[in-house]
Amino acid sequence: MPFRDALTRSLWLAPLALSLAFVLGVLAWVRANEADEQELQHQTLISDALSTEAQLRGSIDEERAHLRQLAAGLAGRVPSEATLAAHPEVNDGLRRLWLSVTWLDGRNRVLAEVPAGSAATRYEDGLSLHLTAPVAPDGVLVVRYAPALLLKRGVPWWLARKYDVQLVDSADQVIASTTDSPLRAAPGGPSYRVALTGPLRASPLAESMLTDAALELTLRDASVHGVGPLAWVLAAGFLPLIAAASWLIRRQMRHVQRAESAWRTEAAWRRAMEDSALVALRARDFDGRLLYVNRTFCDMVGLPAEALVGLLPPMPYWPPDALDELTERNRRNLAGQAPREGFEARWQHASGRAVDVVVFESPLVDAAGRQIGWMGSIVDVTERKRLEERERREVETLAHNARLTMLGEVASTLAHELNQPLTAIASYNAGITNSLAKLGVQDELVLGALQRLGQQAQHAGRIVARIREFLTRREPRHERCDLNEVISAALDLLRRDLQRRGITLDLHLAASVPAVLADAVLIEQVVINLVRNAADALQANNESGARIAVSSHVAGDFVRVDVRDNGPGLQGRRVEQLCAPFYSTKAEGMGMGLAICRSIIEAHQGVLDADEATGGGALFSFSLPLSRELTPEAAHD
């Protein structure tokens, strides 16, 4: 991070550094270009020098060939000036290059000369060169020619304009030149010297040879070496301007950095406040596209901001079963018809659970005061809704409990009132039976009916007494009781109701179940609740062949009672959820039955459990501990 900050603070030097690199690159390119041009000039100079040397050598060879033809034409003729002047080769040579043609005898005496008396004065100031050829039978032809004229006529005009062409000797003296000055001058530009192949004869009478004569080409308009002054001027003016611009950029960057630091601080504060707010925030444009969401909104719907920003309706947190309703409401909200007091909606968390929210919409305005969309503030009211629903259910439960209490009191009073008529019926039945016996009536039909009447009256009395005892509020009493009898008594109260519902009741009570210490009334309540719940589940499933099986057996140090049905089963619910207070799978249920049953069994140091039954259905069971003094061995002793 320190290196990164230092790099950011020194970014203003980048234009200056790039400009310096650019200037150095331009200067290097100019220098390299000049070097390339100089090399090209040198190569061109060499090529032109060699070409010029070849042309001059060709011209000399051509003149030598003309001289041999002249010598062959004069062979055997009488030497005279007229003979020379009349020969066409002489005239052609004088028009081309020759200064004079001299005919010598074997002793090098002049026999004839054209022009006569060496009248040729065109190039007398310069050194002249000679060509010789023998003439039969005994003579020599000598042609004198000017090297300067050879250069002017043998060098192309374009080459003569580009170079100074000179013939020089070993002493660096100018023999001939294409310029007007015959003297050797210091070269003003690059030059190249190439030796002329073959000797050049300087004197016709002696063996005076210019064996080291050379042809030199000097470039007239040579380019200036080094970087041009214009490039230096441009670089000298460009660098101060770039330095000033870099300083201004540095100054501007400092202003920008201070503004950016203030903006980052403000944005961090704003972001921290938005993320720490308990209210979810979202910003949308006029098309409903999400522009911004805070962390509370993301936590509310269970999706990250990267997956939400940029989305158009329908949104992924809308419940699938309410898309039409939410789409229509979203259309009205984007049209500006959202209620100012907010509206309630139900969304769906990414995990699938429902989320109840209250949404408040307000215009989203930019820095210029123009509305660019809508800003939403969303409050999660799921917990509040749950508490309200729980409170409502508690109120209903309390009201229902009050009704049950009132009904219990009425039932207790009714049981008390019914007890006297039933006792009177039993007494009258016994009196009639005794009277008939004294009178000697032996009608078996009448006596049997009276006997059954007495039995039913006693049974009705026992039922009323049991109901009265069940409804009477009292402290639990742990007494020695037969669990099978408690189960049978409880089922006697439900048997007719089960028959009416078409449910078959199977009872499997083990004969070896010992007595336990328990409150018979509370245990009877547990059995009644478990069997009634099974009956309600079977009736709600509405299947034929509904069956409930109640069994008891000894399991180790416990007596276990099972209530099994062939209904829909627990459907993945566990006993902790089923026994939670106010939880019920029935629309009219209070959610207290199983919770009370569990409390009763645990008060007896027992365990209430629930599981899926083998072959389908639910299995509810409770276990009560055996007391040591009530084991069969202890009872026998």
Write out pLDDT tens, residues 492-548.
878 888 888 888 888 888 888 888 888 887 888 888 888 888 888 887 776 677 888
Spatial contact of 366 and 285, defined as CB atoms under 8 Å apart = no
Spatial contact of 177 and 148, defined as CB atoms under 8 Å apart = yes
CB-count exposure of residue 285 (10 Å: 0-12, 13-18, 19+) = middle
Q: Are strands 174-177 and 191-195 parallel, antiparallel or unpaired?
A: unpaired
Q: Rounded to a whole number, what is the distance in angstroms from the first to the last CA of the chain?
A: 89
Cα 594 to Cα 583: distance, rounded to the nearest angstrom: 9
Q: Sketch the domain layout of the chain as residue ranges.
A: 26-219, 279-380, 395-473, 478-636
> What length does the chain have?
637
Spatial contact of 102 and 142, defined as CB atoms under 8 Å apart = yes
Q: Which residue has the higher pLDDT, 571 or 133?
A: 133
Which pLDDT band, with edges at 50, 70 and 90, does 65 fall under?
very high
Q: Which residues of 296-324 are buried (b: 16+ CB within 10 A; e: fewer)?
A: bbbebbbbeeeebeebebebebbeeeeee
Write out pLDDT tens, residues 297-322.
888 899 998 888 899 988 999 999 88
Read off the pLDDT of each residue in 82-111 and give the average, rounded to a whole number.
88
Cα 483 to Cα 492: distance, rounded to the nearest angstrom: 14
Which pLDDT band, with edges at 50, 70 and 90, does 618 fall under?
confident
What's the pLDDT score for residue 319? 92
Q: What are phi and psi of 97, to 5 degrees?
A: -140, -30
Read off the pLDDT of each residue in 435-462 and give the average, rounded to a whole number.
78
Looking at 146-155, 264-273, 403-412, 626-635, which range is the least confident one? 626-635
Per-residue pLDDT at 361 exceeds 80: yes
Which region, left, alpha or beta, applies to residue 91 given φ > 0 means left and ψ of -120 to 50 means alpha? alpha
Cα 382 to Cα 536: distance, rounded to the nearest angstrom: 31
Number of Cα atoms under 13 Å in the Cβ half of residue 320: 3
Cα 147 to Cα 432: distance, rounded to the nearest angstrom: 185
Residues in contact with 430: Cβ distance below 8 Å, sequence separation at least 6, in sequence order: 454
What's the pLDDT score for residue 347? 92
Domain 395-473, CATH: 1.10.287.130
The token duo for 132 is 């010789």
Read off the pLDDT of each residue in 565-577 and give the average, rounded to a whole number.
73
| Bond preceding residue 115 cis, omega within 30 of 0 | yes
Which pLDDT band, with edges at 50, 70 and 90, does 590 fall under?
very low
In CATH terms, the superfamily for domain 478-636 is Histidine kinase-like ATPase, C-terminal domain (3.30.565.10)
Which pLDDT band, with edges at 50, 70 and 90, does 587 fall under?
very low
Q: What are phi and psi of 365, to 5 degrees?
A: -115, 140
Rg (CA), the chain: 67
Please list the alpha-helical segments (H only) found in 277-319.
295-301, 305-308
What's the pLDDT score for residue 69? 92
Q: Which residue has the higher pLDDT, 412 or 64?
A: 64
- Strand ranges (DSSP E) for 68-212? 98-105, 110-114, 129-135, 139-145, 163-168, 174-177, 191-195
Write out pLDDT tens, residues 177-215.
887 655 444 455 678 788 776 556 666 655 445 556 788
Q: What does the DSSP 8-state code read for residue 398?
A: H
What's the pLDDT score for residue 342? 86
Which pLDDT band, with edges at 50, 70 and 90, does 471 fall under?
low
Q: Which residues of 464-481 are buried (b: 16+ CB within 10 A; e: fewer)?
A: bebbbebbeeeeeeeeeb
The token duo for 211 is 């064996």
Residues in contact with 364: Cβ distance below 8 Å, sequence separation at least 6, in sequence order: 283, 284, 291, 371, 372, 373, 374, 375
Identity of residue 569: G
Read off the pLDDT of each residue in 236-242 and give the average, rounded to a whole number.
74
Per-residue pLDDT at 100 exceeds 70: yes
Mean pLDDT of the chain: 78
Three-state SS for 582?
Answer: coil
Fold: same for 279-380 and 478-636: no
Q: Which residue has the higher pLDDT, 199 or 53?
A: 53
Write out pLDDT tens, residues 373-393.
888 888 888 888 888 888 877
What percent of the chain is predicted at pLDDT more than 90?
4
Residues in contact with 593: Cβ distance below 8 Å, sequence separation at least 6, in sequence order: 529, 532, 533, 584
Write out pLDDT tens, residues 113-136.
998 754 444 444 557 788 889 988
Write out pLDDT tens, residues 143-160.
988 888 888 887 888 888
Domain 279-380, CATH: 3.30.450.20
Looking at 73-87, 112-126, 374-388, 599-613, which range is the least confident one? 112-126
User: Which candidate, 459, 435, 621, places its Cα nearest to that of 526?
Assistant: 621
